[in-house]
Chains A and B, each alone.
Chain A
Amino acid sequence: MAFESAAEFFAMGGHALYVWLAYGATWGVLAALVVVARVASRQTLTQLGAQHRRQSARQTGASQTAPQPAPDAAPQASSTQPRTATTQALAGDHS
C-alpha cells in the first residue's frame, strides 16, 4: 500500500483534483460506451422482432385474402368485414 490512511488515499498527495478527474472521466466514458452499446443492441433486437412479426402477419393475412376474385373488389370486402390481421398490420405500419 502506498498510503497510510483512506484520507491520504483520497487526497493523492495534493493531486486529488487531477488524479480523480482523469480516472473519473475515463471510468465514466467507458461505462457510457457500454450502456449505449447495450441499449442499441436490445433496441435492434426488439425493433427487428416487431418488424418481422408485422411482415409475417401481413403474409398470412395476404394468403387469407388471396382467394378474393379481383384486387379492386378488396377494399369493399374489407369495409364490410371485421379488421383482419392484414388491415391491422397495415394500420400499424402507418401509425
Chain B
Amino acid sequence: MTLTARLKRFWHQLGSPRWLYLNSASWLRFLGWGAAALLVCGSVWGLAIAPADYQQGNSYRIMFVHVPTALLSQSCFLLLATAGVVLLVWRMKMADVVAQAAVPVGMAITALALFSGAVWGRPTWGAWWVSDARTVSTLVLLFLYFALFALRQSIPRAEAAGRACAVLAIVGAINIPIIKYSVEWWNTMHQVSSLSVGKRPAMPASMYLPLLLNILAFYLFFAYLLLLRVRTGILRQESGARWVRELVT
C-alpha cells in the first residue's frame, strides 16, 4: 500500500468512533507514561541543572513552563479551528467530539500561560500585568475559549451547538497570527521568540535543550489528555450503539 493510501485509510479510521475507541487504549498508556517521564526530566533539568541567567537570575526558569503552555494554548486553538472546518465541510461527527474535549483543556492551558507570565513579569518587569500586544491578544484567546465553552452550554441541540462552535473557532483563529507576530508588528514589552524553527536559538544549548524537552512533554501531555477525554466523549455520543452496550455490560 502506498503512503498516501495508508494515510487516507488512517484518516477514515480516525473518523470512526468505534475504531478509535477500541484501538486507542494502548496509545493512551504510551502517551501518559511518555508525558510523565518527559515532564519529570524537563522539570529537573530546567529547575536544577540549567545554569542561571546572567541578567534574570533564577526567575528565568519560569520560561520552561511558560513557553510550552503558551505554545500549546495557540496550537489547541488551531486544532479547534481545524476540527471546525472538518465538521462543517465533511460533516465528520468525530471532529465535534474532539472540539468538545479540547476546549476546557485549552482554557486551562491558556490561563496557565497567562499566570506564569504574570509571575515572571513581577520580578522582571516590575509588574504583574503589562498591557502590550502579546499579553492582550493572549487574554483575548482566553476569552475566546470562555466564549466557546459558554456557546456550547447555551445551545440545547448538540448538532447546532457543534456547528456554532465550529464557526466561532474558525473566526477566532484570526487571533492566532496576531499573537504570533504581535512581538514583531508592535513595540511590545514582551520579548521576541528566543526559539524558532529554522533559526539559531538565542540561548545556549544548556538552556534550549531543557526547553525543547519540556515543549515535547507538554504536547505529549496534551495528546494524552485529549485522547482520554475524546474516549469519554465517544462513549457518551455512541451510548446507544451495540458495541458500546457490549463493552460496558
Contact = CB atoms under 8 A, between A and B. Distances in A.
Contacts of B111: 29
B51 interface: yes
B108 A18 contact: no
A15 B57 contact: yes
Contact of B62 (A18, A29, A34, A41): A18
A45 B235 contact: yes
Given A34-B225, A52-B249, A18 B59 contact: yes
Interface residues of B, number: 39
B66 A22 contact: yes
B50 interface: yes
A91 interface: no
Contacts of A41: 228, 231-232
B18 interface: no
Interface of A is mostly: helix
Contacts of A18: 59, 62, 119-120, 122-123
B116 A37 contact: no
B221 to A, nearest CB: 6
Interface stretch (A1-9, A62-70, A71-79, A80-88): A1-9
Nearest to A55: B245
B48 A25 contact: no
A30 B221 contact: yes
Given A15-B123, A25-B115, 8 more contacts: A9-B48, A18-B122, A23-B47, A26-B69, A29-B108, A29-B112, A48-B239, A52-B244
Which 3 residue pairs across A and B have the least CB separation, nearest first? A49-B248, A15-B59, A12-B58
24 contacts: A2-B49, A12-B58, A12-B61, A13-B52, A15-B57, A15-B58, A15-B123, A18-B62, A18-B122, A18-B123, A22-B66, A22-B116, A22-B119, A30-B221, A33-B225, A34-B228, A41-B231, A45-B235, A48-B235, A48-B244, A49-B249, A52-B244, A52-B248, A56-B249
